[in-house]
């Protein structure tokens, strides 16, 4: 009999990859041996090679040095998000730490090295826990230059211009308010001109996500919502100080990258990533990818081919090479045993009406067996994220489908991918408009042929856990079971305990724990605990820096005191989610058994 573990991918990847300067080798982070270590594989194909053996640490970000002889990467321990930065040569046995000082949140720049490989750029909140500075480290003499952000802005470095003069930085106040800043690195640091300058201020508070530089350093690409409710690719000119459109669609452009005379970008079409390429202004053909999501992409220096990480509902995340005007090749094969004997199910794209007349998009996974089916209502995290056709929860969806359980995964108010207006509906309204969308999702399911209305379970992780608990405690529906993974239960204490650099972001998106305490309390599932009667499974990481352990335990205690059937699993060596492969398999396997036992006849 096929079990959940038979659906677990042979390996999983962090959503990052790095292509060597000569375009011959791709580096990535894989948990093939248990933890997320640094691996490399030839772009032309061949056996992969593991470069690190970090044990309880997980590789998160990766970058090649310009000479191609070494890589820099960041790693945290047991999901604590206190990242340190390391460097390792291709023949080194152990990495060398680059960062110094106490534990803090360190973030590598998108392209952290300058063209000569002398300087490395990263962000850190080591000076002030509430501020994320940018540091430019001289790898020759060990000195560092620090760039301090304006109050209320979180700096995230992007890259140094090819001529070495400009440092490009994004300044984030929220997920929808991101500005582009430039720092003149030729200034000594003591003159006013050395301070970061916001080069997109003339356009107001919009989204300007920095991308790659032009080869002559005269400008840089970016992703922006300047021209519509959706994000497009644009080009900022240092000479004209203006942004011009490059690729505009009626859906979000996800990223843009370039090499030589080739420009590559991806468009989010109702959740699926669609790649586009242009050479010298003329569109190029790309081989079709599986209907899924491109989570990382780079071009070889000659622009002839790309290296992408693609994740689809019917095939787990893989690293693949789409040749421009050619074919698609896979460099990895993470397909589990079950997918060689079981036909995986692709979801249907559906829409349902909500209370205010909006049409809410959802993915509906229908089992191949005849109905009526029990169904899992699965709510994504974020909330500014998107349910997309991926191999979700390490094969959990496909296992449930094989058991005859449907999955309904909506993109409620607050979800990205459907325009800025839809995304910002949830700002300072958690448990309001989003819960109304979930109410109508349940109503839609109850009216759907082949769905058993008496056997609906609800599940979510992080924000999705909060939303699942809100469904169980505040909606007038009977649920068969509920699952919360690292889900907040008390929005007041959640807002107070947020990571220090998130203060402005949390105030803007969730609410201030003092000024908005009454409203946050009114939307907190903990304060409706007595209304939860369905069997509940709560999973929590003891090291979670975003949703503290007490968020779970205060609810579990209340429910157990009331006699509710609650299972609570605490993972002492995990943070916000799972870094350890064995822990992930155990947790999702237990969730699979819990859901199946409560919704199947």
pLDDT per position as a tens digit, 501-524: 778 888 888 999 899 999 999 999
Q: Taking the CB of residue 368, how many other CB atoms lie within 10 A of it?
A: 11
- Tens of pLDDT, residue by residue over 416-429, are 999 999 999 999 99
Nearest in space to 233 (alpha carbons), one of 201, 277, 199: 277
So what's the pLDDT on residue 192? Answer: 39
Average pLDDT over residues 19-47: 94
Residue 93 in this model has a pLDDT that exceeds 90? no
Q: Confidence class of residue 342 from pLDDT cuts 50, 70 and 90? A: very high
Tell which of 334, 365, 385 closes a domain: 334
Task: Output the CA torsion 280→325→17→133 (10° steps).
Answer: 20
Residues 496 and 567 in one domain: yes
Residue 547 in this model has a pLDDT that exceeds 80? yes
- The SS3 call for residue 431 is coil
So what's the pLDDT on residue 560? Answer: 93
Residues 299 and 392 in one domain: no
Residues 353 and 381 in one domain: yes
Residue 87 in this model has a pLDDT that exceeds 80? yes
Is 329 part of a structural domain of the chain? yes
Q: Provide the pairing of β-strand 292-299 with 282-284.
A: unpaired
% of the chain surpassing 90 pLDDT = 76
Nearest in space to 553 (alpha carbons), one of 501, 486, 598: 486
Residues 471 and 353 in one domain: yes
Range(s) of the domain holding residue 446 = 345-599
In the block, tokens 């990223």 appear at 255
Average pLDDT over residues 354-368: 94
So what's the pLDDT on residue 356? Answer: 85
Is 132 part of a structural domain of the chain? no
Average pLDDT over residues 37-53: 94
Looking at the DSSP assignment, which residues form a beta bridge with residue 352? Answer: 360
From CA 596, how far away is CA 601, in angstroms rounded? 9
So what's the pLDDT on residue 202? Answer: 93
Nearest in space to 444 (alpha carbons), one of 410, 402, 400: 410
Whether the CA torsion 462, 463, 467, 470 is positive or negative: it is positive
The token pair at 297 is 């992409």
Question: Residue 91 has what DSSP assignment?
Answer: T
So what's the pLDDT on residue 536? Answer: 96
Is 268 part of a structural domain of the chain? no
Residue 257 in this model has a pLDDT that exceeds 80? yes
Is 577 part of a structural domain of the chain? yes
Number of folded domains in the chain?
Answer: 2
So what's the pLDDT on residue 188? Answer: 59
- Tens of pLDDT, residue by residue over 162-210, are 999 999 999 988 888 899 999 999 875 544 346 899 999 999 989 999 9
Residue 500 in this model has a pLDDT that exceeds 90? no
- Tens of pLDDT, residue by residue over 110-134, are 999 999 999 999 999 888 888 889 9
From CA 600, how far away is CA 373, in angstroms rounded? 9
Is 583 part of a structural domain of the chain? yes
So what's the pLDDT on residue 191? Answer: 42
**Do 176 and 183 form a contact (C-beta atoms < 8 A)?**
no
Query: Domain containing 587 — which CATH number?
Result: 3.40.50.1820
So what's the pLDDT on residue 193? Answer: 41
Q: Confidence class of residue 103 from pLDDT cuts 50, 70 and 90? A: confident
Q: Confidence class of residue 358 from pLDDT cuts 50, 70 and 90? A: very high
Largest CA distance in the chain: 73
Residues 421 and 447 in one domain: yes
Is 5 part of a structural domain of the chain? no
So what's the pLDDT on residue 183? Answer: 95
Residues 289 and 369 in one domain: no
Residues 321 and 463 in one domain: no
Residues 312 and 432 in one domain: no
Is 75 part of a structural domain of the chain? yes
Is 300 part of a structural domain of the chain? yes
């Amino acid at each position: 009999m096929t079990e959940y573990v038979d659906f677990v991918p042979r390996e999983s990847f962090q959503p990052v990859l790095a292509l060597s300067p000569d375009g011959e080798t791709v580096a990535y982070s894989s948990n093939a041996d248990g933890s997320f270590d640094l691996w490399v594989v030839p772009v032309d194909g061949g056996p992969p090679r593991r470069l690190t053996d970090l044990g309880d640490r997980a590789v998160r970000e990766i970058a090649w040095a310009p000479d191609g002889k070494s890589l820099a990467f960041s790693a945290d321990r047991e999901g604590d998000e206190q990242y340190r930065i390391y460097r390792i040569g291709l023949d080194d046995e152990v990495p060398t730490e680059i960062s110094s000082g106490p534990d803090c949140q360190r973030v590598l720049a998108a392209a952290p090295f300058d063209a000569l490989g002398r300087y490395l750029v990263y962000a850190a909140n080591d000076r002030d826990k509430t501020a994320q500075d940018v540091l430019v480290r001289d790898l020759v003499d060990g000195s560092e230059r620090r760039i301090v952000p304006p109050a209320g802005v979180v700096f995230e470095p992007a890259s140094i211009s090819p001529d070495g003069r400009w440092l490009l930085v994004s300044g984030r106040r929220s997920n929808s308010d991101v500005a582009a800043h430039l720092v003149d690195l030729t200034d000594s640091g003591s003159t006013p001109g050395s301070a970061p300058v916001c080069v997109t201020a003339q356009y107001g508070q919009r989204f300007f996500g920095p991308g790659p530089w032009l080869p002559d350093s005269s400008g840089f690409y970016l992703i922006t919502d300047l021209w519509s409710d959706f994000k497009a690719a644009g080009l900022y000119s240092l000479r004209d100080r203006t942004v011009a459109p490059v690729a505009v669609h009626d859906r979000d452009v996800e990223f843009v990258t370039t090499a030589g005379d080739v420009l590559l970008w991806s468009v989010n079409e109702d959740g699926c990533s669609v790649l586009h390429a242009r050479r010298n202004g003329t569109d190029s053909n790309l081989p079709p990818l599986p209907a899924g999501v491109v989570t990382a992409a780079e071009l070889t220096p000659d622009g002839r081919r790309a290296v992408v990480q693609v994740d689809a509902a019917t095939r787990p995340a893989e690293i693949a090479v789409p040749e421009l005007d050619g074919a698609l090749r896979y460099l990895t094969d993470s397909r589990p045993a079950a997918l060689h004997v079981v036909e995986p199910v692709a979801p249907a794209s559906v829409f349902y009406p909500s209370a205010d007349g909006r049409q809410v998009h959802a993915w509906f996974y229908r089992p191949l067996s005849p109905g009526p089916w029990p169904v899992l209502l699965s709510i994504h995290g974020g909330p500014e994220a998107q349910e997309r056709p991926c191999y979700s929860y390490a094969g959990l969806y496909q296992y449930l489908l094989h058991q005859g359980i449907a999955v309904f995964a909506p993109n409620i108010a607050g979800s990205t991918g459907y325009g800025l207006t839809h995304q910002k509906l949830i700002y300072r309204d958690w448990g309001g408009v989003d819960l109304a969308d979930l109410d109508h999702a349940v109503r839609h399911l109850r009216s759907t042929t082949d769905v058993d209305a008496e056997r609906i379970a609800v599940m979510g992780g992080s924000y999705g856990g909060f939303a699942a608990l809100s469904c169980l405690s505040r909606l007038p529906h009977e649920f068969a079971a509920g699952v919360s993974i690292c889900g907040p239960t008390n929005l007041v204490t959640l807002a107070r305990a947020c990571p220090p650099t998130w203060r402005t972001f949390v105030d803007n998106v969730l609410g201030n724990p003092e000024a908005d305490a009454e409203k946050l309390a009114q939307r907190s599932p903990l304060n409706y605990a007595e209304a939860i009667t369905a069997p509940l499974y709560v999973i929590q990481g003891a090291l979670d820096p975003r949703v503290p352990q007490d968020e779970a335990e205060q609810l579990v205690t209340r429910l157990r005191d009331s006699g509710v059937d609650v299972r609570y699993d605490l993972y002492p060596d995990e943070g916000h989610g799972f870094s350890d492969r064995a822990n992930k398999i155990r947790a999702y396997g237990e969730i699979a058994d819990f859901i199946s036992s409560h919704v199947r006849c």
